[in-house]
Amino acid sequence: METAYIKTPVGIARIEGDEHGVSVISIVDEATQLSPEIPNILSKAAQELHEYFEGERRDFSFALNPRGTDFQKAVWQELRDIPFGKTTSYMELSRKLGDVKAIRAVAAANGKNPLWIVVPCHRVIGSDGSLTGYAGGLWRKKWLLEHETPPVQHRLF
């Protein structure tokens, strides 16, 4: 397993993976030294995350290898299907997975998402439009949502 630490506008990100794909991307709140070199296995992920933060990328193409239960993986796949710049609710995710009563299980799986940004759990909000819990902190969730939906400049003349 290789690990790299990269700088993002919202903190230091840790990327972990091997020849089978990236298994973890997380935000690190404690002081951590940036990786002087990115391992080859993780270089595409680091580059694509950089492009995302620069506003040049909306989708990711590097191999993923998250660890989780079949149910968690099904939820994470639904999260990947949320379009860039859009949001959904836990209730809507539960509906798409075929069981509205599974809303708490869906929320728990969302909270265990090991692939920050790439599996966009930040795009899940409350049914009333409120920002709900986010492992990286609500300020980061707000930042990411604003990054994906910048204000539109209307013509002045």
96-146 pLDDT, tens per residue? 999 989 999 999 999 999 999 999 999 999 888 888 888 888 999 999 999
Q: Are residues 81 and 136 in the same domain?
A: yes
CATH number at residue 124: 1.10.10.10
Range of the domain at 41: 2-53
Catalytic residues: 121
Q: Are residues 78 and 144 in the same domain?
A: yes
Q: Are residues 48 and 81 in the same domain?
A: no
Per-residue model confidence (pLDDT) at position 145? 95
Q: How many domains does the chain have?
A: 2
Mean pLDDT of 71-93: 95
Q: What is the pTM of this model?
A: 0.90
Contact 76, 124 (CB under 8 A): no
